[in-house]
Structure 1
Amino acid sequence: MRLAILAYDGISPFMLSTPLAVFGEPFLAGGHSVDVCAQAPRLSATGGLVIEAPHNLSAARAADAVILPGWRNADEPVPEALVAELKAADGRGALVVGLCLGAFGLAQAGLLNGRRATTHWARAQAFAERYPEVRVDAGALFVDEGQVLTSAGIAAGLDCCLHLMARLSGVGEANRVARHLVVAPQRAGAQPQIIARPTIATPADQRVTELLETLRAAPSATPALDDLAVRMGMSRRSLTRHIRARTGGSLGDWLKRARLAQAQDLLASGARGLDAIAQRCGFADAQALRLAFRSELGTTPRQWLARQRLD
């Protein structure tokens, strides 16, 4: 698949590097080509950097997916030249992605009307007020509406791009890329943007992190919170507090996401039989697995698997 990244004056190098890290690194096996496109061959970037863009905006018209990585100022309209490329991409059926404040560009192009979308939490209210026809989900890390995807700020762009990689090349490849980038592969779009994640500075913090990694490796286990607390030498309340600080939710919520991630890996690798997959991942039965897919991903296992074969 051919992807185009729309660059502009004042771009954040981090935002530009996000889709490049996921789709453009030489270690990738997916075979995607990535073009950085801009109105001018030389761009100013934050931090006083100067970036040379190898392609004109017109090169984006041959892309299967067009990504707008952020925008320099939510109070400033996106230039019409960029908006025109977003509209053209949507018109020919290409995927269109707005990372962080890039969602403002997609909304300006009219691509989010009647659709659910997200952006950086600090600008979500302004986004909703400016574009009332958009169903703004201020808490989501990213939102996949099929042909159009949006993400929350900065690091959530990685989650969105890894999710898109899973759609294009399968969960196995997305997880491999995530491991190479040393980022978590399991963050779902519905996970909260704002999570109190203190630095791992105490022995208790380290033990809880190790516990979660152990549970991730065998998500079919159904540990009782009281038993885990005894094993950790903590009270149930203290363990619950530590888990919430590390994951943004309860142990049950985190386990469901870990089990769902394993189920996605099994489906993508060719495993068959939802009952067998559910049992291996710790779900009660196939129906519980279907409910998890519906609540977390908004789709059925079969629909999700079909989407992974998109090329």
Structure 2
Amino acid sequence: MQRPHRVVVLVLDGARPLDVGIPAEVFHPETGFPYEVSACGVTAGTVSSHGHFGFTVPRGLDALDDADTVIVPGYVPVGRPLPDEVREALRGAASRGARVASICYGAFALADAGLLDGLRATTHWDAAELLAQRHPRVTVEPNVLFVDEGAVLTSAGAAAGLDLCLHIVRRDLGVSPATEIARGLVTAPYRTGGQAQYLPTARAAVQGETLAATREWALAHLDQPLTVAGLAAHARLSSRTFLRRFTEETGSTPMRWILRARVDAARELLESTRLSVDRIAERVGLGTGSNLRLHFRRLLDVSPSEYRATFSGRD
């Protein structure tokens, strides 16, 4: 029997409790998926955290030696220098082939270890400028939820860590397991990495001024023709106002967002059914199999048949 994928959460002094809890919940073995999650610190024992909490960790940095994925939660003060032994342990894990990820201010640890040099990365919007100043070899993207650079991933603040962890599950196991975990956590199963962080604006949004209901309606009608005008009518807005608000809320145009939703719906059908590619294309509103293949290859860099061979029938 294949051993579980080992996820190790590196809890540094001043760790933010929510950032620590997110991977603990997503990768917990009780989800029924092949993950094993544990926490470590610089040394075994008690680690102080932000907000007068504390964590008891059973292992020190040696835990990174056999980790498949290392996740560094955010910590305060923001951007403080890493202890040399932490820097070397992160470098060692990465050079050994472990996947390394950060949540929120944890990006500063990856940057301090040199793991983000030459890559794109993100962090909480309020620290993005500081990250760019401190680490000019990193291309900081302040307006996104998370950035996937393959073996190194970073997320924005707080709840964006949940989006990142669910994205990792989708990468490892496919859409259906990630959706099941999200359902158990009572959260949206999918927000794209390119979706905008909720940055402060000069004028606070009026309560209830959201397009979430229209997005839910669109997801339920992907097999039908969807246009900006039709979506705007559902939201009871002019097309111009709808387009502006939709882009502000999601970081994407409506039609780009719908295309991604259709491809993701196709992914789930490829995993869970034996429907033909042509039939799946019809059911998700992409019309023809060739159209589905085109967008699938463009967005995921694999064909539908390759994706099905990888993810269908997984436990």
Pairwise TM-score range, normalised by the shorter structure: 0.7 to 0.9
Partner of 2:108: 104
**Out of 174, 177, 183, which is 1:173 matched to?**
177
Could you tell me how far apart the structure 2 residues matched to 1:77 and 1:42 are?
A: 20
RCO higher in structure (CA 8 A, sep ≥6):
1
Name 1:251's counterpart in structure 2: 254
- Equivalent residue for 1:54, pick from 31, 55, 58: 58
**AA in 2 matched with 1:122:** D
Change in Cα spacing, 1:228 to 1:92, as seen in structure 2 (3 Å) is: closer
Do structure 1's residue 129 and structure 2's residue 133 form an aligned pair?
A: yes
Match of 1:17 among 2, 9, 21: 21
The superposition leaves residues 58-96 of structure 1 with CA deviations (integer Å, 9 ceiling, x where unpaired) of 122111111111232333112222222211111211111
Amino acid at match of 2:88: A
Q: Which residue of 1 aligns with 2:302?
A: 300
Q: Which runs of 5+ in 1 are unaligned?
A: none
How far apart are the structure 1 equivalents of 2:120 and 2:268? 27
Once the two structures are TM-superposed, the CA of residue 216 in structure 1 deviates from its matched residue by 0.6
Q: Does 1:260 align with 2:267?
A: no
Q: Which of the residues 253, 260, 269 maps onto 2:272?
A: 269
**What is the TM-score normalised by the length of structure 1?**
0.84
Provide, for residues 195-216 of structure 1, a one-character-per-residue CA deviation record: whole Å limited to 9, x for no partner.
68957637xx5xx543322221
| Matched residue, 1:183 | 187
Give the Cα–Cα distance (whole angstroms) in 2 for the partners of residues 232 and 120 of structure 1: 30
Aligned to 1:36, the other structure's residue is in SS state strand
Q: Output the CA distance in 2 between the equivalents of 1:275 and 1:56.
A: 52
Per-residue CA shift, 1:221-260, capped at 9, x if unaligned?
A: 2134434555565544454455445544433233123212
- The two structures, once aligned, show a CA RMSD in angstroms of 3.0
**Structure 2 residues without counterparts, runs of 5 or longer:** none
The aligned amino acid for 1:223 is L
Task: Confirm or deny: 8 A CA contact 2:69 2:99 kept in the other structure.
Answer: yes
Structure 2 Cα separation of the partners of residues 107 and 229 of structure 1: 42
Q: Return the letter of the residue paired with 1:44.
A: S
Q: Conserved in 1, the CA contact under 8 Å of 2:44 and 2:58?
A: no
Q: How many residue pairs end up in the alignment?
A: 305
Check 1:90–1:230 CA distance in 2 against 1; reply closer, same or farther (3 A cut): closer
The alpha-carbon deviation at position 283 of structure 1 amounts to 2.2
Paired letter, 1:264: R
| 8 Å CA contact 1:2, 1:65 repeated in 2 | yes
Quick check: 1:188–1:296 contact (8 Å CA) kept in 2? Answer: no
Alpha-carbon distance between aligned partners in 2 of 1:7 and 1:216, rounded to the nearest angstrom: 38
Counterpart residue number, 1:92: 96
Instruction: Give SS of 2:193's match.
Output: coil
Q: Which secondary structure state, in structure 1, belongs to the residue aligned with residue 71 of structure 2? A: strand
CA contact (8 A) 1:35 1:60 kept: no
Distance in 2 of aligned mates of 1:284 and 1:65: 39
Aligned to 1:148: 152
Asked if structure 2 preserves the Cα contact closer than 8 Å seen for 1:112 and 1:134, the reply is yes
- Taking the aligned partners of 1:161 and 1:68, their CA distance within structure 2 comes to 12
CA distance in 1, matches of 2:188, 2:86: 32
Aligned CA distance change for structure 1 residues 110 and 226 (closer, same or farther; 3 Å): closer
TM-score, normalised to structure 2, is 0.83
Question: Separation in 2 of the partners of 1:199 and 1:304?
Answer: 42
Matched residue type, 2:125 = W
Match of 2:283 in 1: 280
Aligned equivalents of 1:33, 1:57: Cα separation in 2: 17
- C-alpha spacing 1:129/1:295, structure 2 compared with 1 (3 Å): farther
Following superposition, the deviation at residue 296 of structure 1 comes to 5.0
Q: Which residue of 2 aligns with 1:201?
A: 208
Identical aligned pairs, as a percentage? 38
CA distance in 2, matches of 1:194, 1:296: 25
Partner amino acid for 1:32? Y
Q: 2:37 aligns with which of 31, 34, 37?
A: 34
Q: What whole-Å deviation, never above 9, does each CA across 1:139-192 have from its counterpart, x for those lacking one?
A: 221111111111111111111110111122222111111111121122111222
Which deviates more from structure 2 when the two are superposed, residues 90-99 or residues 253-262? Answer: 253-262
CA contact (8 A) 1:71 1:78 kept: no
What is the rounded CA distance, in whole Å, between the counterparts of 1:255 and 1:88 in structure 2? Answer: 41
Q: Which residue of 1 aligns with 2:87?
A: 83
